[in-house]
Amino acid sequence: MKTNSLRARVIVTTLALLTVVLATVVTAVTLAYRAKLNSDLRNRLTGAGTLLEQVGSAGDAKPLIAGLALEGIATRFGGPPSTAPTKGPRIETRGSLLVVDEILRDGTRVRFSASRASIDHAVTNLLVVELSVAAAALALTTLIVFRVTRTALRPLSEVIETATRIAHGDSTLRLQPSRTDTELGSLAAAFDRMVDALESAIDEARASDAATRRFLADASHELRTPIAALQASVETLLREQPRRPERDRLEAAVARDSERLGRLVDDLLGLARLEARPARAPVDLAAIARPLVDDARERAPRAEITFSADDDTAVQGDADALERVLRNLIDNALTAIQPNGRIEVRLRRANGYVQALVADDGPGVPEHQRERIFERFVRLDPNKPGHGLGLAIARRIAQQHDGELTCDDRAIGAAFTVRLPAEPLPGDVVDDARPGAVV
C-alpha cells in the first residue's frame, strides 16, 4: 500500500492538469491571434493591389499612396513598362516583409510591401499578458486547492485522531458519520464496524479465557472428588487388608468411583472434541431416536414412554454426535420421572426444520434456571448422578449443526426441543437467509 501524502498528490495532480490546460489555451489563443493578424495583413495587401489594378496609370495611382501608408503599406513604382497580361496580385514572403507586385494598365510596375514586425510585437504583448494571467491563476488555484483539500481531508484527520485515542485505551469512541453514501462516510462507517468487531472479538476472547479458567477450575474440582475417594479406598485395601464384607464394600467403592471417573473423563473429552466442526452427512433422526426409546422402555418398564415421528426427519450432521444429544435428553428424562412416570419423544418437520421434543412429567425446571442448566458443571440436584456436562455438550452439538437446544415452558415436568435444519426435499426452495431453511 502506497503511503505518499494524499494532500500533496491531490495538489500536484490538480496543478499539473491546470498547467496543461492553461498551456493548451495560451498556445491555441496565441496561434489563432497570429493567424488572424497575418490574414488581415494579407487582406490589406490584396486589397491595395486590387485597388491600384483599377487605376490606369502611375499618375492616377500616386494620390492613393498616402492612404495606403496609413495602413502600414509602402508603395514603390519602378521598372520598365510591361506588356505582359495582368494576372492579379500575388503575395510573396521576403524575410519579415510581405510583398505584392502589381502592373498597371499603362505597364507601370508597382510594389506594395508590409512588415510583419507589428504582428510579432502584438503577439508578444498578448503572450506576456496570457502568461501573467496563467501564473496568477496557478498561484490562486494553488491556494484554493490547498485550503479545499485541507478541509476535504479533515475527516481523515478525525479518523487518525480517533484511531490513536482508541489505541490508547478509549475503545468507546466512534466516528458516527452523518452520511454513509459518500466515500468518507463509507470509510467512517467501515471504521466503526471494524472497531465494533474488534471490541466484540476482545470481549469474546476475554469471556472465553474466563470460561476456560472456570472450566479448568471446575474440572479440577470434579476430578479431585472421585480421585480422592478412589485413592482412599485403594490405600485402605492395600494398608489394612480388610476381611469381607468390608473388603467387598471397598472394592465396590473402587469400581463405582472408577466408573464415575471414566464418565467424567469421557465428558471432558467430548467437550474437547466439540472444538472441531463435525462431519456432515444425511442423518435420519427418527432412525437414531427409535432404538434409544426402545432401550429406555427396557430400563423403565413401568414408565409410559411414547414415540412418534413424521415420515421425513432427515438432517445434515454427524450421526454419533446427534445420537449423543438425544441419548442425553432421554437419560435426563428417565432420571427425572418416577418409576411409573411418562416420557414423550416426538419428531416433527416444520418450516424447514426438524424438531425433536423430549418431555417428561418429572419435577420440571424452574423458569429462572432454564438457561443456567446449559452451563458446564451445573446440577440442579446434586444427589442425582451426572457431572453437569451433558446439556452443555448437547447444546454445543446442536449449535455446531446450525441448530439450537432449548428448555421449553411446560406446565408439568420438563420439555427440551432440539431444532435442526432439515435436509431439503426434492422441490424445496432453499432460503439462503437461514442456513438449512427451506420454504
As a whole number, the mean pLDDT across the chain is 80
174-214 pLDDT, tens digit per residue, is 877 877 777 778 888 888 888 888 888 888 788 767 766 76
235-262 pLDDT, tens digit per residue, is 888 887 888 888 888 888 888 778 777 7
Return the HEC string of the chain. Answer: CCCCCHHHHHHHHHHHHHHHHHHHHHHHHHHHHHHHHHHHHHHHHHHHHHHHHCCCCHHHHHHHHHHHHHCCCEEEECCCCCCCCCCCCCEEEECCEEEEEEECCCCCEEEEEEECHHHHHHHHHHHHHHHHHHHHHHHHHHHHHHHHHHHHCHHHHHHHHHHHHHHCCCCCCCCCCCCCCCHHHHHHHHHHHHHHHHHHHHHHHHHHHHHHHHHHHHHHHHHHHHHHHHHHHHHHHHHHCCCCCHHHHHHHHHHHHHHHHHHHHHHHHHHHHCCCCCCCEEEEHHHHHHHHHHHHHHHCCCCEEEEEECCCCEEEECHHHHHHHHHHHHHHHHHHCCCCCEEEEEEEEECCEEEEEEEECCCCCCHHHCCHHHCCCCCCCCCCCCCCCHHHHHHHHHHHCCCEEEEECCCCCCEEEEEEEECCCCCCCECCCCCCCEC
Q: pTM of the full predicted structure? A: 0.47
Residue 161 confidence class, pLDDT cut points 50, 70, 90: confident
What is the set of domains in the chain, with CATH numbers?
6-150 (no CATH), 185-273 (1.10.287.130), 281-421 (3.30.565.10)
